[in-house]
Amino acid sequence: MGKTLFDKVWDAHVVDVIENGPQVLYIDKHLIHEVTSPQAFNELESRGIPVARPDKIVATADHNTPTLNQHLPVKDLLSRNQLEQLTKNCAKNKITLYGLGHENNGIVHVIAPELGFTQPGMTMVCGDSHTSTHGAFGTIAFGIGTSQVAQVFASQCLLLEKPKSLRVNVNGKLAKGVLPKDVILYIISKLGTNSGTGYFCEYAGNVFEEMSMEGRMTVCNMSIEMGARGGMIAPDETTFEYVKGREFAPKGAAFDQKVAAWKTLPTDADAIFDQEYSINAEDIGPMITYGTNPGMGIKITENIPELEDASFEKSLAYMNFKKGESLINKAINYVFIGSCTNSRIEDFRIAAAFVKGKKKADNVNAWLVPGSQKVAKQIEAEGLKAIFEAAGFTLRQPGCSACLAMNDDKIPQGEYCVSTSNRNFEGRQGQGARTILASPLVAAATAIEGRIVDITKQIN
């Protein structure tokens, strides 16, 4: 029997197998940030254990950082302390840190691909569930808890049970205005938020083959929202072209050698998955969520389903929506374009193309938060900043920002926010805030109209 992409990468990283127990998996790249690392550093220090391979760790400050006036000292004392801890811990352990203001700083899942740290066939971990993003490169990448961060610090390995395999095939032609975000929101809405638990998911089919690397990252990013530890897409010419020439990618003959190895990674034709689903691209439309988990999504043209279920009703009560109603024409006062799901240059190009020559509605606060310093520079260099500013949008500095609202970027109590982020949990964007997940195109259109509109009418 043939092997899957996941099997090939996993098997190449197994150091040891414990009888009736987990496997010892070697980790090629460990990404860390200020929120989930301090307790791991403390753990090692209290036990007198050194960091095993500091050269395989890259650190950034992103979760807890302000998106305005980053040149000034961070006002929130607890946040500042957390950032200082990261700086101290990295200096002490000789770990590369791209701190606030550094030209390579940004959201961990935006900077690692951008700098060429993320490469096909690797194992990558980070104390952040959206580490699944890097699977877009044919990489086994997944989020871990802080105890596991400490384990990787101590040994460069993790003890894990090998997950089962799942494949989601999407074939056909996507309609105009249907973006990678819509594809993944549609998949999660159909399969459910725990359909992937215990699995690693491969996305296959012409829709993903034709997608850009940035689109593939958006898709893999949200694998965790259906419970899957990670998602993967087979590396191909699009992948190699993206990696080529990036700062920390192999160069010259070394790169060619790597490409030859990467070409052997895709799933064999006769490989069998534990679970498999197929979706027609034609069935997917621009999506929007109406509830408090990412599986509660509908096509923007559809009505909220009518289910008899206590958790479903609790969710609608929180959102102040009714069963059976449409979201079209709902007034929206906040729009957020950002997060590790949708804060790359293509996302801002899509938003800018729609916004160009228009003005945002007076009632709307439109926040744009680039995923990295590099994306921020590109927004300016391509003239997008001027378009956004003319339309009345606020372009802020890079970070996780209103995706999880750890900093000051909070949506007020009771307000709706159409957001390109990944989670619409209760209070995710601020206490009492109501999040509606959507693509950058739907978010941009909402900002212009000040209400949710049927984007399919505007683009056809």
What are the residues binding another protein (CB under 8 A)? 15-16, 18, 20-22, 24, 26, 35-36, 38-39, 42-43, 47, 49, 63-64, 76, 78-79, 81-82, 85, 127-129, 143-148, 150-151, 154-159, 161, 163, 193-194, 197-198, 224, 227, 229, 293, 310-311, 314, 404-406, 413, 423, 425-428, 431-432
Residue 55 CA to residue 34 CA, distance in Å, equals 18
Q: Which of 255, 224, 223 is nearest to 239 (CA)?
A: 255
Token readout for 19 is 């009888």
Complex with another protein: residue 261 or 272, whichever CB lies closer: 261
CB of 166 to another protein, least distance (A): 13
- Residue closer to another protein by CB (options 198, 392) is 198
Q: Min. distance of Cβ 110 from another protein in angstroms?
A: 18
The nearest distance, CB 96 to another protein, in angstroms, is 19
Nearer to another protein, 47 or 71 (CB): 47
Least separation in angstroms between CB 203 and another protein? 19
Min dist CB 128 to another protein, Å, is 6
Q: How far is the CB of 143 from another protein (least distance, A)?
A: 4
The number of helix segments (H) and strand segments (E) in the chain equals 16, 19
**Nearer CB in complex with another protein: 266/430:** 430
Q: 329 vs 431, which CB is nearer to another protein?
A: 431
Shortest CB 171 distance to another protein, Å: 28
* Contact of 318 with 428, CB cutoff 8 Å: no
Q: Are 1 and 267 spatial neighbours (Cβ–Cβ below 8 Å)?
A: no
Q: In terms of CB distance, is 160 or 328 closer to another protein? A: 160
For 24-51, give the DSSP string.
Answer: EEE-SEEEE-TTTSHHHHHHHHHHTPPP
Residue type, 421: S
In this complex, which beta carbon is closest to another protein, that of residue 223 or of residue 446?
223
> Alpha-carbon distance 420 to 385, whole Å?
18
Q: Determine the 3-state secondary structure of 286 from DSSP.
A: coil
- Least separation in angstroms between residue 15's CB and another protein is 4
Nearest distance in Å: CB 423, another protein: 6
Rg (CA), the chain: 21
Long-range interactions of 85-91: CB distance < 8 A, separation 24+: 85/34, 85/38, 85/41, 86/32, 86/33, 86/34, 86/37, 86/38, 86/59, 86/61, 89/37, 89/38, 89/41, 90/59
Nearer Cβ to another protein (342/422)? 422
- Looking at the Cβ atoms of 205 and 227, the one nearer to another protein is 227
Q: Which positions ≥6 away from 139 have C-beta within 8 Å?
A: 9, 118, 119, 120, 121, 122, 123, 124, 232
Residue 289 pairs with which residues in a beta bridge? Answer: 297
For another protein, the closer CB: 144 or 448: 144
- Min dist CB 311 to another protein, Å, is 4
- CB within 8 A of 155, min separation 6: which ones? 52
**How far is the C-alpha of 59 from the C-alpha of 98, rounded, in Å?**
6
**CA separation, residue 320 to residues 290, 316, 328, 412, 433 (Å):** 10, 6, 15, 15, 11
Instruction: Answer whether 60's CB lies under 8 Å from 98's CB.
Output: yes
